Amino acid sequence: MKNYSLLIMGGSNDDDGGGGVDGDGSGGNSPSRQGITVIDFNANWCGPCRRFAPIFHQVAEELNGRLRFISVDVDKTPEPARQFGVSSIPQITVLRPDGTSYSAVGFMGYNEFLAFIDR
């Protein structure tokens, strides 16, 4: 059982095809208590996405409670991808509390990902 919060949209844990579930299996789409949200836009058929997924999950576990992490399967839940203008995947988007955001496309290693979300 995962002990960190990771919202999965359109993933294999998403029973209803809707909002998703928390990584601990508790269900729930409660608003983030943290100020920063990190979104991983991905798809099952995408090789770089599959390589990045364990890194994303590891960082989500390590930073549990400090940031909110969301994984979005763009094939199963395309609307968020449209809202954020996703044209290539994997795309990692960081949303700041002041309403600004920044994104990067492509595979990132562990250290590169940590540096990216900390900028």
Structure tokens at 8: 């999965």
Q: Say which CATH number the domain at 85 has.
A: 3.40.30.10
Q: Are 43 and 73 in contact (CB under 8 A)?
A: yes
SS3 label, residue 25: coil
Q: Which residues does the annotation mark as catalytic?
A: 46, 49
Q: Tell me whether residue 19 is in a domain.
A: yes
Distance (Å, whole) CA 101 – CA 94: 5
Distance (Å, whole) CA 115 – CA 106: 15
Give the pLDDT of residue 29: 38
Strand intervals (E) in the chain: 6-9, 37-42, 68-73, 91-95, 101-105
Q: Tell me whether residue 1 is in a domain.
A: no
The range of the structural domain enclosing residue 23 comes to 6-117
Per the structure, the count of domains in the chain is 1
Q: Tell me whether residue 108 is in a domain.
A: yes
Per-residue pLDDT of 19-67, as tens digits, reads 333 333 333 333 444 589 999 999 999 999 999 999 999 999 999 889 9
Q: Tell me whether residue 56 is in a domain.
A: yes
Per-residue pLDDT of 61-77, as tens digits, reads 999 889 999 999 999 99
